[in-house]
Chain A
Amino acid sequence: MRKCMFLLAFLLSAITLKSQEKVTLNGYVTNVDDGEALIGATVYIEELKTGTSTNVYGFYSITLPQGEYTIQYSYITFNTLTQMMTLTTSTRNDVELTPESTELEEIVITDEALDANVQDIEMSAEKLDIKTIEKIPAFLGEVDVLKSIQLLPGVSSVGEGSSGFNVRGGGVGQNLVLLDDAPVYNSSHLFGFFSVFNPDAVKDVKLIKGAIPANYGGRLSSILDVRMKEGNSKKRVISGGVGTVFSRLAVQGPIKKDKASYFVAGRRSYIDILARPFLENGETLFFYDLTTKVNYNINDKNRLYLSGYFGRDVFRFDERQGFNWGNTTGTLRWNHLFNDRLFSNFSFIVSTFDYGFSFGENDLDKFDWNSRIVTYSLKPYFNYFINTNNELSIGGEATYYKFNPAEAVGVSDGVTQDISLNKKFALESAVYIDNTQKVNNRITLRYGLRYSAFQYLGEGTRYEFAYPNLGERKELIGSEEVSSNDVIADYGYLEPRASIRYSFGLSSVKASYTRTAQYIHLVSNTAAPTPIDLWTPSTNNIKPQVGDQYALGYFRNFGGGNAIETSVEGYYRTTDNQVEYVRGADIFINEFLEGDLISGEGRAYGIELSIKKNAGKINGWLSYTLGRSELKTAGINNDDWYPTRFDQTHNLKLFGEYKLSVKTSLSANFTYVSGTPVTAPTSRFEIQGITIPYDYYDERNNLRIPATHRLDIGVKWLPGKNRSARKVDDYFVFSIYNVYGNRNPFSIFFSQEDGRVVPGNPTETVANQFSIIGAPVPAISYNFSF
C-alpha cells in the first residue's frame, strides 16, 4: 500500500512541474508571540476573491497566475496581515500573525473571510480554542476539554460527572478521540469527572459530528481531534495553576530559536496529599499526567514533531488493594514538502491503555488482574494543492492491535492459579482520497472515498456459537485454534463521503453524506463507561459496526463583520451491527465474551440550533438540540425500537461572558437537559428468599428520569494595579458550579431495602434517585505565566 502512495506522490509532483504559467505561494502561518502554528488561518487573495486556509500543521499553498496581488492573512482573535506581492515565481512566504491586544475595546471584524462558518464547505464540525474553554466556569474550577465540548450542539453525556460523551446519539465508544493523531482509548481521569487533556498543553480542539472527511475513520459517530501546543519557539515561558483538585505546571521554550522548541506540562491531583494525616492504611486516590512535545524545523522542507502523553489514575484502598488505569501515547510526525504544492506528513503512533486491579491480604492469598490494549499505527498523508479550485488529500492508515483482555492470577493459600485469557490481534488498514472542489462562487464540493479493511488475526481461537434463544447467552458449539498471523475473520468496507455547500448572500446551505465503519468495540453495558471497560476486535462472531449519516444545514451570519453566527442542522443516522449484550452478559475475564455480545440496529436523528456571538463586551452562545437515539435488537424489548440509555429529547446550553472591566470578566453557563431513560419493573417476585424485579411487558428504557438543569458562574479577576508593569501574567478564577444546588438525578434504580430478610417478614422494595452532585460547589484557582 505504501508503495502505491509513493508512486502517486511522484506522479503528482510530475504534474506540478508541467504547469509553467502559474506560480505557487506557500508557507506556514504562525503566532508571532510563541511561534505556534495556526490551524485553519485564512489566506485570501483579494483580486481573485478566492483563498485557502492552513492545514493542521499551519501550512498553506495556493496556486495562481503570475501577477500582483493583495494577500490577506487572517485568523480569529488575531490582527489581519495584508501584504502586496508581485508573484513571478513560486514563493515561500511564512508569516507571523499578531494576536489582538487584550485591551477592552469592541472588536470589529471587518474581514469578509472570517465568515468561515458560512463559506467553508465544512459542516457538523465544532471548533473550540483553548481561550474559550478557559472562560467556561468549570466543576471545581478545573478547566476541562471534554466537559466544554458538551456545551456544543449535538453533544451530550449520560449524566453529570460520567465519563465520555455522546455525539448525535452515538455511544461513547463510537467517538474517535485523537491526541496529536494518537487514539486515546479512555479519556477520563477520576472516573470521568475530568478528562486526560491538560488544558495547558492543548492548542486546538475540533469535534467532527458529521460530514467526516475521508482521512478520518474507524469510529461511527464522531472524531474529536485534539492538537497539542508545539512549544514557544521565541522565549521560555513557565505557566501553571493552583486549583482545588490539582495543580499544573508547564514549561516551554526554544531549544534553538525559531528552529526547535519543547513543551512539557504536568498535572497532579492532591486530595491524597492533603488527607494523608487522616489516612492510616495507605488509602489513596490521585491522578497525574504529563504531556510533552518537541519539534524541530530541519529545513524549509522538513519538520519533525515528537509528542507524548503519560497519565495514570491510582485508587488504593490500602497498601495492597486497589486499582489503577492510564493511557500512554506517543506520536512521531514528519512533515515533508515534496514541492510547492505537495505537502506530506508521515506519522508513527503508539498508544496504550491499561488497567490493573488487585486485592488480597498477602502474597499467599491474592487476586491480580491486568488488562491492556496496545496499538501501533502508521499514517502517510499527502495534501496536494492542485490549483485554487481543487485541494486533494490522499493517504492511508495501518494499525496493528494487540488486545490483552486479562492477565489474571489468583493465589489461594499459596497455590497460584493463572486465569489469564489469550491475547487477541488485529490489523486495521485504510486508504483514502478526498478532494475539495470550488465549482464557482456559490458551490463548493467535497467528495472522498475511503476503503477500510480489518483482519482479526491469530494466534487465537475461532469460536463457533449457536444462538437458539434470542437475547440469551449463545451456546458454544465448537472452537478451532488458529496459528500466528493467520486470518480468523476478514472484513472490508467502502466508505463514500460527500458534502456540498451552496451560498447566497450572507447565507449558505450545506448537505453531506458520510459512511463510516467501526471495527473495534468498547464493551460496556453500564450506564456510563467504567475505567475497566474493554475494547474488543470484530471477530467471526462480532461484525463491524457500519453507519450512514445524512446531514443538512442552513448557515447565516448577521451584523457588521458577522458579529452573530447562526446555524441550523438536521441529521439522520442509521447503524448496523451495533453492539448489544445478552441478558446477564458477563464481560469480565470471560473467554467466551463473543457469546455474550449480539448486534442490533440503531437510528439517531435530530435538529441542532446554534447562535454564537463571538465579539463584544457580551459574548457567548446558545446551543439547542432536539434529538432521538434508538436501538432495535432481536430478543430485547419485544424486538421493538427502544431509546438508548443516553437518549435526550431536549438539550439546551447557554454560555455567556461579560467583560466588566479590563481586570474583571464574568461568565455563566446554564444547562437544561431532558431526562435520560432507565428501565423500570412492573412487578416483583421471590425465588429462594431473594426478591427479584420483573417487568411484565419486558421493555427496555421505559421510564424517564426527571430533567436536569444547572447554573454555573465564574469570575476571572486580574490582580495588580498596573498590569503592564507586572512581571507575571496571572489571574484568579472564582467559580460556583450548580449555583442553586439542584439535585440533578443521574439515575433511578430499584432495590430491596438494606439488610437481610428475616423469614416471615416481607421485603420492602423501593425506587431510589441518585444524584452525583447535590449542592453548590465553589472553587478558586490561581493561574500564572511568566
Chain B
Amino acid sequence: MRKFSLYMASICLLFGCEETIDVELKDAPPAYVVDAWINDKMETQVIQLSLTQPYFDSSEPTPITGATVTVTSEGKTFSFTESQSGSYTWDPATSTDRIETVGSRYTLTVNVDGNEFMAESELRRVPPVDSIKFTFKEERNAFQPEGYYAEFLATDPVGPGDTYWIKAIKNGIPLNNPFDLNIAYDAGFNEGGNIDGVVFIQPIQDAVTPLNEDLDEIVPYKLGDSLHVEIHSITHEAFTFLQQVQIQTQRDGGFDEIFAEPLENVSSNIMMMNENPDVQVIGFFNVSSVSGRGRKLTE
C-alpha cells in the first residue's frame, strides 16, 4: 500500500498541518525483549536481549546481561554466548553443526533472572533471486523522478503457504526504514491473495527502490550504486508479526492519518514458561533460509 500513502501525502500538501507535541504517557515497568532472527548464512548469528523503555526515551535499549541462550534442533544444540552486553552470538565457523534442513524445527530457550522463555520456529524453503534489473525511466511525476529503477526477479515455488521477508541493501547499507519493510505471502501480499508459484507481483519487486527520508519521493539508483537483495524465508507467525509491524510503524502522518489504523501491540511468539505476573516478555524468534544476489549499476 506504499503507493496509496504517496497519493495521500500529496493531498496533505493542500490542507493538513502537523506538529510534534508533548504528551503525558502512563508509566510502565520494563518488559523483556527477545530479538532472535537467525538464518542459515555462514556468518555469526546474533540474538539480542533488552528491556523496553519509555516511549519517548530515545537512548539505546538497556541490554539484558547474564542470560543463557540456547537454540536446539533435532539433537543439535547451538549455544549463544554473550559477546557484548545483551548481544548473544553463535559462529558457525566454530562448530560442525549447521542451521539447515528445510522443515526442521528449532527451539529457543532463554534463562534470565530466574525466568525461562521459550519459542519455536521452523526453517522453511526459499527461492533463489534470479536476477536484479535496473531500468532507466524518465521523470513521470513528482514522486517518480528520472533515474534507474531497480527490481528483483524471483519465482515463488509451487505450493501455497511460503512466506518471505525481502531485504534490500543499497551500497552496503540495509534499507531498514519501516517503509522499506517488504514481505510476501507466496508471490503476493497476503494469504487471501492466492498468488502461488509465480514471479513475485510487481509492487513487491519494485519495493527494492527506496523512498527518500521524507517519504515523498522515490530515490532512483545512480551509476555506480550497488544493490544486494536477500530473500529470507519466514514462518507464518513471523509474517503476521511483520504485517503488524508494518501497520504500527508506517506512520508518515499527514492526510494518511485520517485513514490510520489503531495503534495495537504487535504479536509475539516468545512464551514465558514460569508463572510471574510481574514479568512480561515480548519479541520474536524466527529461523530463515536465505538466498541473495547483488548487482552494481554500470553503463
Contact = CB atoms under 8 A, between A and B. Distances in A.
Contacts of A417: 187, 195, 198-199, 201
A683 B140 contact: no
Given A410-B201, A590-B193, A680-B263, A750 B55 contact: yes
A367 B203 CA distance: 8
Interface string B179-220: 011000001111111110011111101000000011100000
A6 B223 CA distance: 79
A134 interface: no
B267 A584 contact: yes
Contacts of B10: 317
A591 interface: yes
A682 interface: yes
Given A527-B259, A684-B52, A703-B23, A323 B254 contact: no
A689 to B, nearest CB: 5
Interface stretch (B88-96, B100-108, B245-253): B245-253
A755 interface: yes
A588 B27 CA distance: 36
Contacts of A506: none
B66 interface: no
A698 B25 contact: no
Contacts of B244: 583-584
B225 interface: no
B214 A754 contact: yes
A527 to B, nearest CB: 5
Interface in A744-786: 746-752, 754-757, 762-774
Given A679-B264, A693-B55, A696-B280, A770 B245 contact: no
Interface stretch (A97-105, A261-269, A332-340, A358-366): A358-366
Contacts of A684: 52-55, 57
Nearest to B153: A413
Interface in B251-270: 251-255, 257-267
* Max chain B Cβ within 10 angstroms of own Cβ: one of A359, A361, A415, A694: A694
A290 to B, nearest CB: 24
A283 interface: yes
Interface stretch (B14-22, B74-82, B109-117, B291-299): B14-22
Contact of A773 (B15, B37, B260, B263): B15
Interface in B1-56: 1, 3-4, 6-7, 10-11, 15-23, 25-31, 33, 35, 37, 48, 50-56
A770 B16 contact: yes
A593 B58 CA distance: 37
Given A317-B143, A527-B260, A686-B50, A756 B177 contact: yes
B257 A680 contact: no
- Interface of A, secondary structure class, is loop
A691 B178 CA distance: 8
B2 to A, nearest CB: 10
Interface string A589-625: 1111100000000000000000000000000000000
Given A419-B194, A528-B259, A584 B247 contact: yes
A473 B240 contact: yes
Given A317-B143, A683-B30, A773-B15, A752 B201 contact: no
Interface string A12-53: 000000000000000000000000000000000000000000
Contact of B181 (A367, A690, A771): A690
B175 interface: yes
B141 to A, nearest CB: 4
A484 interface: no
Contact of A685 (B33, B192, B255, B264): B33
A410 B153 CA distance: 15
B275 interface: no
A757 B187 CA distance: 28
A584 B243 contact: yes
Contacts of A526: 258-261
B195 to A, nearest CB: 5
* Max chain B Cβ within 10 angstroms of own Cβ: one of A357, A686, A701, A746: A686
Nearest to A318: B141
A756 B283 contact: no
Contacts of B30: 683
A688 interface: yes
B299 to A, nearest CB: 22
22 contacts: A317-B141, A318-B141, A323-B7, A360-B202, A412-B199, A413-B153, A417-B187, A419-B195, A525-B262, A530-B258, A584-B240, A684-B53, A684-B57, A685-B50, A687-B245, A690-B176, A749-B253, A751-B252, A754-B214, A756-B176, A762-B58, A767-B56
Q: Give the 4 A-B residue pairs with the shortest CB-CB distance, closest first.
A: A696-B28, A591-B192, A590-B192, A584-B244
